[in-house]
Amino acid sequence: MTSYESLVDPKLVVKLQTKGIKKFIAYEISVDAVKEKYGKHFNVILGDLHQEDDLRVLDYDGHHVFNNFSLRELGQPLYHEP
């Protein structure tokens, strides 16, 4: 989850690069869908997202994410590669 306007926002891309993430495939998922799937954990993570230009990881387990959401819910991927 992020407070950035876009997953390919240049400031977010720089922040990810400082964490060693230079290229990625990302999906924007509706907040309501995520809230429904993650419940209390969503609220805990969201409560920590107060700073501007902030980023929080809701789920580190890619398998879990793909099991929680259908490919239709994920929508079109956003690609970033330097």
Residues 6+ positions from 15 with CB-CB distance below 8 Å: 53, 55
CB atoms within 10 A of CB 59: 15
Per-residue pLDDT tens digits for 6-28: 888 999 999 899 989 999 999 88
Tell me how far apart the alpha carbons of residues 23 and 82 are, in angstroms, rounded to a whole number.
Answer: 7
Supply the pLDDT for residue 78.
92
pLDDT at position 50 is 58
pLDDT confidence bin for 29, thresholds 50/70/90: confident
Stretch (H or E) spanning 44? helix 40-47
Length of the chain: 82
Residue 35 or 22, more confident: 22
**First and final CA of the chain: distance in angstroms?**
22
**What average pLDDT does the structure give for the chain?**
82
Eight-class DSSP state of 3? S
